[in-house]
Structures are given as structure tokens and as C-alpha cells.
Amino acid sequence: MNELTGLTASELVRLIKGKRASCVEVAQATLDWIAKTDKSFHSFLSVAENEVREQARRVDQSVARNEDPGMLAGVPIAIKDNMLVKGWPTTCSSKILSQYTATYDATVVSHLRSEGAILLGRTNMDEFAMGSSTENSALGPTRNPWNAECIPGGSSGGSAAAVAARMATLAIGSDTGGSIRQPASLCGVLGMKPTYGRVSRFGLVAFASSLDQIGPFARSAEDCALLLKVLSGHDPKDSTSMNVDVPDFTAGLQGDIQGLRIGLPKECFSDGLHSEVKSALEAACKELERLGAKLIEISLPHSSFALAVYYILAPCEASSNLARFDGVRYGLRSAEAGTLVEMYERSRDEGFGPEVKRRIMLGTYALSSGYYDAYYTKAQKVRTLIKQDFAKAFENVDAILTPTAPTPAFKIGEKTDDPLQMYLSDVFTIPCNLAGLPGVSIPCGFSSGKLPIGLQLLGRPFEESVLLKIAHHYLTAAPWHKAAPPFCAEAN
């Protein structure tokens, strides 16, 4: 590992703007490290080598001319393969989109370009972001940089692994029920799902439109704040992006957390919780108390119903969103079909993998005549109760702390035969999406098997700053985020 690839984005930007490192040098070090190591992990589906060098040269020229090269000048960033980058394939790790090339940039990608970030390549994911292990990729699984026999989490497993393995300084992912936070936790990095409406979804391939949100992966709270600032903002092209002020998240890291009230939902700390996850969280709580935070036990009485609500609402929205893949305008068209309907049916059967079909079936069933009220309306009503639980809790606390994932990373293949067991991986992350709140996962320790453990902080809508401030203070006192996977040292 080159020392440049181990730096944070904030450190890199200082070096590049101060002309103490060239952007081309950083980019080349990153490309070399990817070439050397990604064959073991399969984080990337493709790396845009020539474009990377070209982008890096442009940033160097701009620095040389003393222009402002942008907030992310020269920072290598990986893009989950469900966000459009003009001229790149966008496949959502699905066979049905294997031949698709993006014709425009997602809004987040335009923001990254204008701030001087270096777009490295596309990262692996569960097909259409449906999964918790990246094993549902039609292009093969990604492996966890801390232990290649384990999954990296999902669905944004490629992005999480790339950042953990120092192959990317930053990455972006999407989070519908935990797809940023859960892999961040399992790979020992930070991952944030911003408040619903904070970041434009224009150019993100839709999975469940009332839940999806794009967010950052990073190796420090400063970097998370920096990237969130770049991604955020109202976009006329996404009518659900909110026209609210975007604070300076970096400035928000300062000040202390003295007297800040952090709620611990008793439902999340039951006896059933994995013992090593529990002890890591208990130690983190002690540290936060030492830093001046006040810990308060709270209750989210409907949280145990969140998983059931999610597995109605998300598949319903997905079955509708994925109706567009019909073999007409883009994507795979079956060669086997005689009639138009056969063309639809066979293209979709050949193009979608098992988990995507399962969710389309589940959603179509729940929305079908006779079941709509029993499932869809019922789930929407319980969604209201879950949202109300949070509103009530936030009258007395400033943030809520829970585990991110119920266990450290599990073995590849361990849960692929039992969809319900796999779904339970997201039990702590789902309520946040249903309520539209911001949530961040930060590293807080390791299991006896040397696998990362993460904790999750949830906040009031549009109060990402509070979460980032807590994360920053905690990690300054307990710098778990600085640990690199052992292979990094061995590979030198």
C-alpha cells in the first residue's frame, strides 16, 4: 500500500492544494493498488483507468494555474453501479442491464465532477440493490477485506470494501433499508444515509422510491462531512429533494458533545443480541459518557414490526419501479419470444436474478386485487406508528444509538438459501428508512475473529450535523477507523 492511498480525503486535498503531491501521482498510486489487490476482493466491476489519468491531469493543471480545484480536488472516489456516469455502463450488477451505457450524469456525479473528485470506477452490488451481502450480484460476490471468506455486507458491498481496502479514498452508495450502513459496519468504515430528500436521486436507478437515498462512505468523520456537503442540495430534477439549507458539515464537527442526550432503545439491546456486538457497544457508550454525553434509555415500541413493514413496502415499490425493464427501450431482450407478451415475460425471466424475482413476486402479490388493503395499506399504517415512535423519542433525546448489524460479517454462502435469515441482517437499519431519518454507521471495535463491529447513530430529520459531531468526537477518543485490514501491511 502506497502511503497516499492510506490518507483521508481531507489530508489528500490539503496536500494537492498545497502542491505537495500531484493529483496524477495520487491517481496512479490508487490504480496500482487496485490492480494489485482487487483480484482478491472484486470490489470493482470496472475501473476507468484512462479517464482517471485524464481527470487527474486536469486537476493538476487547475492547481498549477492557481484556480480553485474544488472541495474534493484529486480525491479518488468509487461509484456504486446503480448511479449513472455518462459514457460508463450502469448495470446494477444485473444481467438485464449488461449492455446498458449511461447517456447522462446522475446529479451526485455532476456535483463530484465540479468539485474535482476523480471518478475511479463502478463498484459491485447486490442486483438492483436487493440484498445484504453482495452475493446477489450477477457478476459474482465481493469479499470482505478483513477476511476474504466473509461477505462485505450489502447491497453497497463493493463501495464499502473498496474504501476499507484503501482502493478508494471515498465512495458513494445507496441505502434503501441499510445498504450503506450495514456494509460500512461490516467493513470497518463510516457510512451515512442522509435524511430522505437531502440528496438528489436523479440518475439513481430506482428500487423503492420512498426509501432510497444516496450517501457517503469514508474513513473519517471529517471525510463523511466533506462528501455529504458535496452530495447535498435541492435539485429541480428530483421533486422529492428538499429545498433546505445545506449546513457546513465540516464546521459542525467542532464544539463539544457535553450534555448531548443520546437515547438507547431498550428493544435493540435485548438478551438476543450477539455478545461481542453488545460488549463493543457498551464500551462505546462508556466512552461517550466520558466525553460528556448523557445516555438515556428509551423505547421504540413498534420497531420490531419494521422488518415486516419493509418487506411489504419495498417489494411493492420495486415491483412497480422494475416494470420498466421490458426489453423495449433498453436492456436485455430475449431472442426466444414469439409474441409481445412472451418477449416481456422471457426477457424478464432471463434478465433478473432470483432475489429480484422474489421481490417482484412479493410486491406484485401484495398489490394485487384483494390483498392491497391487507398488506400494502396495513404496512403503510404501521409505518406511521414507527415514524411516531421516533418523533416522540426525539422530544427527549438528540440522537439514538443502536447496533448497525446484528452480527459481524458472516461467511460467504452462509445465508443464501434462506431469504428471511438474510433479511434479518437489516433489522436495526430499516426503521431509519421508513421514518426518513438520517443515520450513520461508525466503527466501534472488533470481534474475537478480528472482524469490524459498527454502531449506528440516528438523528432528527436534517440534523446530520449532530450525528457527525458525535462520530467525530467518539472516533477522536477511540480511533477504530484508523485500523487498516491486515492484508494492507502484508501486501507491501
Partner 1 sequence: MPITKKDVEHVAKLARLALSEEEKDTFTRQLEKILTHIDQLNKLDTQGVEPTAHPLDVKNVWREDVCIPWEKADEILEGAPEREERYFKVKKILE
Binding stretches for partner 1 (CB under 8 A):
99-101, 103, 196-197, 210-211, 236, 239-240, 242, 302, 305, 307-309, 311-312, 319, 323, 326-333, 337-346, 348-349, 352, 354, 357-358, 360-362, 364-365, 368, 375, 377-385, 387, 419-420, 423, 434-436
CB of 20 to partner 1, least distance (A): 41
Q: Determine which one of 94, 159, 174, 179 is catalytic.
A: 179
Q: Determine which one of 10, 22, 43, 80 is catalytic.
A: 80
Has 155 been annotated as catalytic? yes
Cβ 225 vs Cβ 187: under 8 Å: no
Q: Compare residues 408 and 459 and give the one whose CB is closer to partner 1.
A: 459
Q: Compare residues 218 and 362 and give the one whose CB is closer to partner 1.
A: 362
Q: Determine which one of 22, 93, 133, 155 is catalytic.
A: 155
**For residue 328, what is the DSSP state?**
S
Q: Compare residues 6 and 89 and give the one whose CB is closer to partner 1.
A: 89
Query: Rounded to whole angstroms, how far apart are CA atoms 280 and 490?
Result: 27
CB of 210 to partner 1, least distance (A): 5
CB of 363 to partner 1, least distance (A): 8
**For residue 162, what is the DSSP state?**
H
Closest to 119 measured CA to CA, from 144, 83, 92, 93: 83
CB of 263 to partner 1, least distance (A): 20
- Secondary structure (3-state) at 81: coil
**Grid cell locating 317:** 415499490
Q: Compare residues 146 and 462 and give the one whose CB is closer to partner 1.
A: 462
> How crowded is the C-beta side of 167, counted as CA atoms within 13 Å?
30
Q: In DSSP terms, which residues pair with 11 in a beta bridge?
A: none
CB of 380 to partner 1, least distance (A): 3
Has 94 been annotated as catalytic? no
Alpha-carbon torsion (252, 258, 259, 265), positive or negative: positive
Q: Compare residues 35 and 323 and give the one whose CB is closer to partner 1.
A: 323
Q: Compare residues 328 and 477 and give the one whose CB is closer to partner 1.
A: 328
**352: enclosing H helix or E strand:** none
SS (H, E, C) 169-234: CEEEEEECCCCCHHHHHHHCCEEEECCCCCECCCCECCCCCCCCEEEEEECCHHHHHHHHHHHECC
**How far from 279 is each of 221, 283, 293, 400, CA to CA, in Å?**
23, 6, 19, 18
Has 270 been annotated as catalytic? no
CB of 160 to partner 1, least distance (A): 24
Which residues does the annotation mark as catalytic? 80, 155, 179
